[in-house]
Amino acid sequence: MSRKWPMALGMALSLMALGSGLAAGTTDQQGWHLAARWTARASFPIFLLTYLASSLVRLQPAPWSRAIARDRRWWGLGFAASHTVHLVALIMALSLDPEPRTPASLIPGGTAYVFILAMALTSSSAAMRALGRNWKRLHSAGIHVIWLIFALAYAKRIPAPETRAIGLTMTMLALTALLLRMLARRRRGARAFA
């Protein structure tokens, strides 16, 4: 099987979430809002696999973790594909809102999308060679900015009773992923001094 399958999986999950949201809404506005919410949720696990790929190998060297790390580029592209569907749903949802968002409220998400696009466009061996050390800087900064946007977006849902469960669940997943990365980094550092 082609190693590109995570990209197809990301697109398929997001398209299913999009269709489910549109079908569940009783109005166009509600349908697009549900589609935007559910496509973000479909993208999140794919992002977490990309975020954790190298850490999982350090913490649990096994065929499954090596496969995720080996295909990290394709998981990242799967996330980019999935989150592009989310962007379409979000644009439609915002266009149907009676009150437009302020430009300042669009900066965090817009910043994440700039990184997603830049990382997707540079996800090749040729781009790695051309950018040299800047490739690692771009991808490292980008993945942490995207993690932060997800974490904050879900954390802000915790105070509201109707979104508390999903907010807590997704925030805990994000924090657990960060903790795993920190543990893997610490383990790498300990091995370097062993």
- Sequence ranges of the domains in the chain: 5-193
Separation of alpha carbons 121 and 179, rounded Å = 28
Helix axes 5-24, 72-96, angle to 10 degrees: 20
Please report the pLDDT score of residue 191 as a whole number. 59
Which pTM does this prediction carry? 0.91
Separation of alpha carbons 84 and 86, rounded Å = 5
pLDDT tens-digit map of 49-82 = 999 999 999 999 999 999 999 999 999 999 999 9
Sequence-separated contacts (24+) of 137-142 with Cβ below 8 Å: 141/115, 142/115, 142/116, 142/118
Q: What percent of the chain has pLDDT over 90?
A: 86
Look at residue 190 and tell me whether its pLDDT is greater than 70. no
Lowest average pLDDT, out of 97-101, 153-157, 190-194, goes to 190-194
pLDDT tens-digit map of 26-37 = 999 999 999 999
Q: What percent of the chain has pLDDT over 70?
A: 96
Location of structure tokens 């082609």: 2
Q: How confident is the model at residue 118 (pLDDT cuts 50, 70, 90)?
A: very high
Q: How confident is the model at residue 15 (pLDDT cuts 50, 70, 90)?
A: very high
Quick one: average pLDDT of 135-146?
Answer: 96
Please report the pLDDT score of residue 60 as a whole number. 94
